[in-house]
Amino acid sequence: MLSARDLTKSFTTSEGSLQVLSGVSVDVAQGESVALTGESGSGKSTLLHLLGCLDTPDSGTITLKGAPLHDLDEAGRAQIRRSRVSVIFQQLNLIPSLTVAQNLDFQARLAGVLDPSWQQELTQRLGLTHLLTRYPEQLSGGQQQRVAIGRSLAIRPELVLADEPTGNLDEATAETVLDLLLEGVGRSGSALLMVTHSPRLAARLDRVLHLQEGRLR
């Protein structure tokens, strides 16, 4: 379903050009869950950003169900993010000025695919029913990530990209959040590519990819 070929990406720093990805190729099948591991600075987040249309590669190709994503303009990339690929970050996923309820259905309404019954089901399964009127700042880290998961699944995306979604959480909460994430992507039929430092969490996914110095090993 998702196919990336020979992706390269470099950044300009005060000390010159820094090569972050050097010819990375990756495939993710529909409904598959894949863990992406690697040391800090190995390029995990950069790869996730390229696949999530948050950034563009220097070279290489990315296709989603055969449609090229790598040469889209900003509007085209925004369209993909809005309706086909959801991204969950480690922190600050939510819009601070909106309530939990508004955050939950924000993306689905943007994409014009709001399904109230699916929304209600997600809210119940994620245990957010009693938090709907609260603002993000009034939630714990785990609660915030549950809202982020709910929001990202509300559009039934083809692909969920998660960048260390449990990185800021304690072990027990992290397990719960991952349970909910895996259950959610399973019910919505989405594929999942998750960046994690934790071998224990990675082991719970279908497949593990390891990135080292900008290359997959």
Interface positions with other proteins (CB under 8 A): 11, 40, 45, 49, 54-55, 74-75, 78-83, 87, 89-98, 102, 105-107, 109-111, 151, 163-164, 167-168, 197
Give the nearer residue to other proteins in terms of CB position, either 29 or 59: 59
Name the residue nearer to other proteins (CB basis): 33 or 45: 45
Q: Which is nearer to other proteins, 10 or 176 (CB)?
A: 10
Q: Pick between residue 32 and residue 105 the one whose CB is nearest to other proteins.
A: 105
Q: How far is the CB of 111 from other proteins (least distance, A)?
A: 7
Integer Cα distance of 59 and 20 in angstroms: 12
Confirm if 160 and 185 have CB atoms less than 8 A apart: yes
Using the Cα atoms of residue 121, residue 124, residue 129 and residue 132 in order, give the sign of their dihedral: negative
Q: What are phi and psi of 38, to 5 degrees?
A: 155, 165
Q: How far is the CB of 84 from other proteins (least distance, A)?
A: 9
Cβ atoms of 122 and 188 within 8 Å: the answer is no
CA 132 – CA 148 distance, rounded (Å): 13
Shortest Å distance, C-beta 182 to other proteins = 22
